[in-house]
């Protein structure tokens, strides 16, 4: 790949062998070339210049100091290592931009309230712990303290890029999970042990279930276990019926027998405090 333009030390524009323009990201990538040919081993992320995200990235590289890109990359590497998975390329742009504006807002004492702070912390504990470490990295670099509301937003960026890169949809998912958990709590009239294995399994199930609801996708309608579960776990099933009714009204989504079956089983585990 032939170097065409240096945006900063970590971001360059190149032409590939098909004469397509690409934006490449990698720590110190602008120095790692010979006669204008980029060392491909140092490439960490690639964007097609025709992609709308690329235009935003170019503007960021022009307006935001390079150290914000370096910090964002450090945090992304940390998140990917701790989660043991790749994150969407969109996080490089959104996180760099967000870190810059955290610093700008804190300097001006403009801290916004995050209404989803507790939900993010409760339903995505791994991502929240990573964001706490990310906050320490940012605090060390810029010598200011990041409040909990902003830590939760950092976590949301990680959650967002695990799901599908759409921040609005990620917020919608968190809100729906919160609504379902509240229905479960109030209908069962029990105090849920949020540290239990059964509760964590329920949250994992709800994450995928809610994504299917929002995307209007679902498992097949028939499940041979449905009638057995409905008959034997009546209290749990009545709770699931309330969830089904809520989702039907709010999202015009018909929850299938398959979905009802597995959700009932997870709620029954909570009722019996089953840990296996």
pLDDT at 172: 87
Domain of 51, CATH number, reads: 2.30.24.10
**What's the length of the chain?**
276
Identify whether residues 161 and 177 lie together within a single domain. no
Domain end among 116, 150, 165: 165
Identify whether residues 55 and 78 lie together within a single domain. no
Identify whether residues 153 and 233 lie together within a single domain. no
Domain end among 165, 185, 219: 165
| Domain housing 70 | 66-165
Identify whether residues 255 and 190 lie together within a single domain. yes
Domain of 239, CATH number, reads: 1.10.1790.10
Identify whether residues 153 and 175 lie together within a single domain. no
CB 232 within 8 A of CB 255: no
pLDDT at 276: 42
Identify whether residues 129 and 141 lie together within a single domain. yes
Domain end among 115, 134, 165: 165
Identify whether residues 52 and 128 lie together within a single domain. no
| Nearest-angstrom CA–CA distance, 238 and 189 | 13
Identify whether residues 257 and 174 lie together within a single domain. yes
Domain count, the chain: 3
pLDDT at 143: 87
Identify whether residues 93 and 40 lie together within a single domain. no
Handedness of CA 257, 263, 267, 273 (dihedral sign): positive
Identify whether residues 176 and 161 lie together within a single domain. no
Identify whether residues 139 and 196 lie together within a single domain. no
DSSP 195-213: TSHHHHHHHHHHHHHHHHH
Identify whether residues 157 and 76 lie together within a single domain. yes
Burial class of residue 250 (count of CB atoms within 10 Å of its CB; 0-12, 13-18, 19+): exposed
pLDDT values of the chain reduced to their tens digit, one per residue, 276 residues: 888 888 888 888 888 888 788 888 888 888 877 778 888 888 887 887 767 677 778 888 888 888 888 899 899 999 999 999 888 877 888 888 889 888 877 777 766 677 788 888 888 899 999 999 999 999 999 888 888 888 998 998 888 887 655 677 888 888 999 999 999 998 988 777 877 878 888 888 898 888 888 888 766 667 788 899 999 999 999 999 999 999 999 988 888 888 899 899 989 988 886 434
């Amino acid at each position: 790949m032939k170097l065409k333009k240096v945006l900063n030390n970590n971001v360059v524009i190149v032409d590939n062998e098909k004469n397509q323009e690409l934006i490449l990201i990698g720590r110190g990538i602008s120095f790692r070339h010979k006669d204008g040919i980029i060392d491909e081993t140092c490439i960490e992320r690639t964007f097609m210049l025709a992609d709308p995200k690329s235009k935003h990235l170019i503007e960021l590289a022009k307006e935001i100091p390079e150290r914000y890109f370096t910090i964002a990359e450090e945090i992304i590497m940390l998140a990917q290592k701790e989660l043991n998975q790749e994150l969407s390329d969109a996080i490089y742009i959104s996180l760099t931009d967000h870190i810059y504006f955290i610093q700008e807002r804190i300097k001006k004492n403009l801290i916004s309230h995050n209404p989803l702070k507790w939900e993010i912390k409760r339903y995505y504990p791994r991502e929240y712990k990573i964001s706490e470490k990310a906050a320490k990295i940012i605090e060390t670099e810029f010598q200011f303290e990041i409040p909990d509301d902003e830590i939760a937003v950092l976590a949301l960026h990680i959650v967002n890029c695990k799901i599908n890169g759409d921040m609005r949809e990620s917020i919608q998912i968190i809100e729906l999970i919160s609504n379902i958990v509240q229905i479960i709590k109030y209908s069962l009239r029990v105090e849920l042990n949020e540290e239990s294995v059964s509760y964590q399994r329920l949250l994992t199930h709800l994450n995928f279930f809610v994504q299917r609801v929002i995307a209007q996708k679902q498992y097949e309608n028939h499940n041979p276990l449905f009638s057995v579960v409905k008959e034997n776990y009546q209290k749990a099933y009545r709770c699931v019926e309330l969830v089904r009714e809520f989702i039907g009204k709010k999202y015009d989504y018909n929850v299938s027998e398959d979905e009802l079956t597995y959700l009932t089983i997870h709620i029954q585990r909570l009722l019996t405090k089953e840990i296996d």
